[in-house]
Structure 1
């Protein structure tokens, strides 16, 4: 089995856009196994959105020895934190610490800008969602502690049809 050290991590380039969308779509198929077919059926992100995020240098990809993208993390720098928008790794490469290494890439970028917090929103019960992020040092944010920006994001999720009752916001403080 390969481990994350066998992969390289770099800011996504324009030629990675198609692979990023394919990884997102393939990773979404895992949700069929937990009865969440709506996510599996959803189309990948619009190509224009992916290109905008690449231009903004807000996607990091994991690349194997052959130069193929096997995972990515997409994030949004905010004044007091970096918001992790999406983390996907090809199912064929699961369990190799690639996701953990991608999160660490975001953490390094945050620290470099003196930003000491990562935040994300994920499904509470899906094994590779909240339980996985807890193993990476994230903690649930209590409803009462959600700020205006996170509440706005929750409303946007609801508008997109996500079941927010099954989701949780999480944060990881960076030392």
Structure 2
């Protein structure tokens, strides 16, 4: 029996430089889904428009239908952005991208992956919690993470309660969970 799911949606790989401009449409479409929660992002550049470095971006599909953009914050891999085009939602693409980020982080020696997200949006805070992320108290933030959160507030991104989350990649407490 042949699967009806496009094979291209399952493939997670590093982006090519020429693919970065096309990811803007993916991010805009993914951001549009937040309107159902009453969240409308302020005008300005998207996260993906702020990088020209494909080594920071994992993509799913060819052409890409989702991406994860990463950086380093306080010596840990930080998930700057995870976006899947809503036409390709609920197919596990976001989960595969997230696992690829965690696998990459572990391979580089990062003890954890951090991120900032909306606390109550079902496909944000609760979704990450189901995948092994826990909320960090501000006292647990490093100096770079504190600056990043302050910068998000300055940009007007805190349109609903936000949290900082972390997933430990080794050890007993908060390990990476099932693969």
For the criterion TM > 0.5, the same-fold answer is: yes
SS of 1:109's partner is helix
Point out where structure 1 has 5 or more consecutive residues left out of the alignment: none
1:8 to 2:8 alignment: no
- Map Cα deviations across residues 64-109 of structure 1 (whole Å, 9 max, x no partner): xxx2211000000346310000000011111111111111111111
Paired with 2:166 and 2:45, the residues of 1 have a C-alpha distance of 25
Q: Does 1:153 align with 2:148?
A: yes
- The structure whose residues are more often helix, as a share, is 1
1:149 Cα deviation after fit? 1.4
Distance 1:165 1:8, change over 3 A: closer
Query: What TM-score do the two structures reach when normalised by structure 1?
Result: 0.86
TM-score normalised by the chain length of structure 2 = 0.84
* Equivalence for 1:140: 135
Give the gaps of 5 or more residues in structure 2.
Answer: 171-179
CA drift at 1:155: 1.1
The answer to whether residue 65 in structure 2 is matched with residue 27 in structure 1 is no
Deviates more, 1:158-167 or 1:22-31: 158-167
Provide the secondary structure at the position in 2 that maps to 1:18: coil
- Please state if 1:50 is matched with 2:51: yes
Give the distance between the partners of 1:95 and 1:20, measured in 2 at CA: 19
Q: Distance in 2 between matches of 1:5 and 1:45?
A: 24
Q: How many pairs were matched up?
A: 167
- Counterpart of 1:61 in structure 2 is 59
Instruction: Assess, with a 3 A threshold, how the Cα gap between structure 1 residues 35 and 48 changes in structure 2: closer, same or farther.
Output: closer
Asked if 2 retains the 8 angstrom alpha-carbon contact of 1:137 and 1:172, the reply is yes
Contact 2:79 2:114 in 1 (8 A): yes
1:77 to 41, 50, 72: 72
> Residue by residue, what CA displacement relative to the aligned partner does 1:1-45 show, whole Å, maximum 9, x if unpaired?
6398962111111121122111000001001101112x1x63552
Q: Is the 8 A contact 1:157 1:164 kept in 2?
A: no
